[in-house]
Structure 1
């Protein structure tokens, strides 16, 4: 265990957790938590389950991330997942994963990946921090009835400590949510790039994402751990 407080324990995520993690993400991230999933281009999320898009490829990617050993879970006293934080060590070739989305079956999940690729590329994070040992966080989620109680902050603070223990020199995140961005600022992370959704256009010149307020920007955050 990485710590227990108010009946909530945090531990490292294991490969055998993935079936439960996948269900948790379906209910508390893709359909309830990720602002872009409710603002994606047609077909609308109501028509097709977002998590089913490119499902096999995504499962493989998540399992590879978990296998690195930096992702964590928050569990209640009954052992049920109430929060998660995926994290992976990344290098200068990380954007290759996102470039591949241009050759995939085109759907709103791929459209989201294209936006993330654009955001990370424009941030020039790998050029700015060339040579840094970097831990990248993604797919942060807290169960809907547990939000607003500081659990997300605990998960991120724990990930920062994990990064320090493993001698990472930089912690990085890309945020589509206003609340995720606010959380990162509260723990001392710095925004190095922000893209207004209204200013982002796809290959057809269309603004594909128009999430509701207060979600207005895709942002990239870093925390330097290197002295």
Structure 2
């Protein structure tokens, strides 16, 4: 993926990620517009690292059918993510960021595996029309190969979807930490995310590269 792809990638995520991902299921707020400028900046920064992937259908004018946003991370990024999450002015997207930041700090993969950097698979999305054909697995496997070529020691993915975790497990990734959605509550004690079964936990999946 390159930065010229991003306008189409952004539309693709709107149609195939934000409201299909378990924490966005049934949400009636415009998630794709919350923290929009900051998220655009984050995504473009990832693309600039040359670790993001895009799959296209060359029989249909190069239509995007799958994407991976990924980046190289170091320990200091955990605090950056916490600060960014706390600064979000949008309630639901801010809760999303705070939830993932908590899981990230609890898992602390850098300390757990004794590494100073890792490859973080942030978003994987596949066009709804071509799901179930192995494209997500091919994207994940390609990302692993790319990480190896860059000398990264570990790849991690925080799978909020039961199916994405199962897909990653089939590629040799293992769950080293999980967190139930029902245990994450707002300041009033209300459960924030309540996706339908079988999506019950976020699972931190890893593989040594």
> What SS class does the counterpart of residue 60 from structure 1 fall into?
helix
Q: Distance in 1 between matches of 2:76 and 2:67?
A: 25
Listed one character per residue, the Cα deviations across residues 132-181 of structure 1 (whole Å, up to 9, x for unaligned) are 43110011000001100000000000001111111111011111111110
Contact 1:90 1:134 in 2 (8 A): yes
Does structure 2 retain, via aligned residues, the 8 Å contact 1:92–1:130?
Answer: no
Q: Please state if 1:151 is matched with 2:135.
A: yes
Q: Is the 8 A contact 2:70 2:119 kept in 1?
A: yes
- The correspondence of residues 185-204 of structure 1 with structure 2, limited to 5 A, is 185-204=169-188
Given that residues 102 and 114 in structure 1 are in contact (C-alpha distance below 8 angstroms), is that contact kept between their aligned partners in structure 2? yes
1:70 partner SS: coil
SS across alignment from 1:23: helix
Which of 27, 33, 44 does residue 52 from structure 1 map onto?
Answer: 33
Q: CA deviation at 1:126?
A: 2.1
1:84–1:142: 8 Å Cα contact kept in structure 2? Answer: yes
1:124 CA drift (Å)? 2.0
Partners of 1:133 and 1:118 in 2: how far apart? 19
Equivalent of 1:96 in 61, 70, 79: 79
Report the counterpart of residue 16 of structure 1 in structure 2.
4
- Further displaced range: 197-206 or 85-94: 197-206
Aligned to 1:181, which of 165, 171, 179?
165
Aligned to 1:34: 21
Q: Is the 8 A contact 1:132 1:170 kept in 2?
A: no
Q: What does residue 62 of structure 2 align with?
A: 79
Q: Offset at 1:109?
A: 0.9
What is the alpha-carbon root mean square deviation over aligned residues?
1.2
Which ranges in structure 1 are unaligned for 5 or more consecutive residues? 1-12, 40-44
Give the drift of 1:203: 2.8
The total of aligned residue pairs comes to: 206
Question: For structure 2, which runs of at least 5 residues remain unmatched after alignment?
Answer: none
Query: Per-residue CA shift, 1:31-78, capped at 9, x if unaligned?
Result: 2x2111125xxxxx32x3111101001100100010000100000012
Contact 2:115 2:153 in 1 (8 A): no
Equivalent in the alignment of 2:126: 142
Deviations 1:9-31 (A, max 9, x none): xxxx0001100000000000012
Q: Aligned with 1:30: secondary structure?
A: coil
